[in-house]
Amino acid sequence: MKFTLATIIAAASAVSAVPVAETNPLALTMMSIRSASPIHFGSVTASGQKFYIGLERPSSYCPTPPVSPKDCPSGNYTSIGWSTYGPYMNVMVPGGQQLYIAPDHSLSYTQAHSASMPAGSITEGFILGPKQENTLRSISHTSGGFLACPAKANEGPWKVFVGTVADADAPSGSAADCLGFSNNGVEFTSERFGAWQY
């Protein structure tokens, strides 16, 4: 095949016709906002299939070998992707890791290589708001607002729940210790993936 300027221009315009969302899916980190509180401007961080505010870094893992270390994401950030079906963990591991709300209302994600989640888990109902002037996008859920529940009264890390929390499920033993917060998506562009797996 002979490449002429016309075929190159045709190929280039075919590429640019592909929706941006498919070649470069929206990736976000999550930031908590609750003014005058310990969780103001907190990072929502994945650890052990749950999410916390106040952790230094997520639990993340990249298997080397077989993966070459240079192909591993840093794993320093907790990133989610967002498709028309809702949020998912922004990971490389085959099969991915799904985001859901467990029956105790804790925000959760599936283990790598497993789609298993407890009966009664909720995978739908997450809503991503439009990009605001301050670049944030509100993340909400039809079952109610986000809550952060401390390990001990006023002492983090703060475990993330959605909707309501029972005393028995609050890490401190009292749901009265939890703080409501607004959850905000911050575009994550420094790396393609947040981790190989969380």
Ligand X SMILES: *[C@@H]1O[C@H](CO)[C@@H](O)[C@H](O)[C@H]1NC(C)=O
Interacting residues toward ligand X by CB under 6 A: 74, 76
What's the DSSP call for residue 130? Answer: P
Quick one: 76 or 143, whose CB is closer to ligand X?
76
Quick one: 64 or 74, whose CB is closer to ligand X?
74
How far apart are CB 30 and ligand X at their closest, in Å?
A: 17
How far apart are CB 186 and ligand X at their closest, in Å?
A: 15
| 25/127 Cα distance (integer angstroms) | 16
| 187/29 Cα distance (integer angstroms) | 6
Give the number of other CB atoms < 10 A from CB of residue 85: 10
How far apart are CB 89 and ligand X at their closest, in Å?
A: 18
| 36/136 Cα distance (integer angstroms) | 19
How far apart are CB 127 and ligand X at their closest, in Å?
A: 29
Quick one: 91 or 107, whose CB is closer to ligand X?
91
Give the number of other CB atoms < 10 A from CB of residue 59: 16
Q: Which of 23, 33, 19, 26 is nearest to 134 (CA)?
A: 33
Quick one: 147 or 195, whose CB is closer to ligand X?
195
Quick one: 76 or 140, whose CB is closer to ligand X?
76
How far apart are CB 75 and ligand X at their closest, in Å?
A: 7
Q: Is the dihedral of CA 55, 158, 97, 124 positive or negative?
A: negative
How far apart are CB 73 and ligand X at their closest, in Å?
A: 8
Quick one: 22 or 56, whose CB is closer to ligand X?
56
Q: What are phi and psi of 9, to 5 degrees?
A: -65, -40
Q: Which of 179, 184, 171, 156 is nearest to 54 (CA)?
A: 156
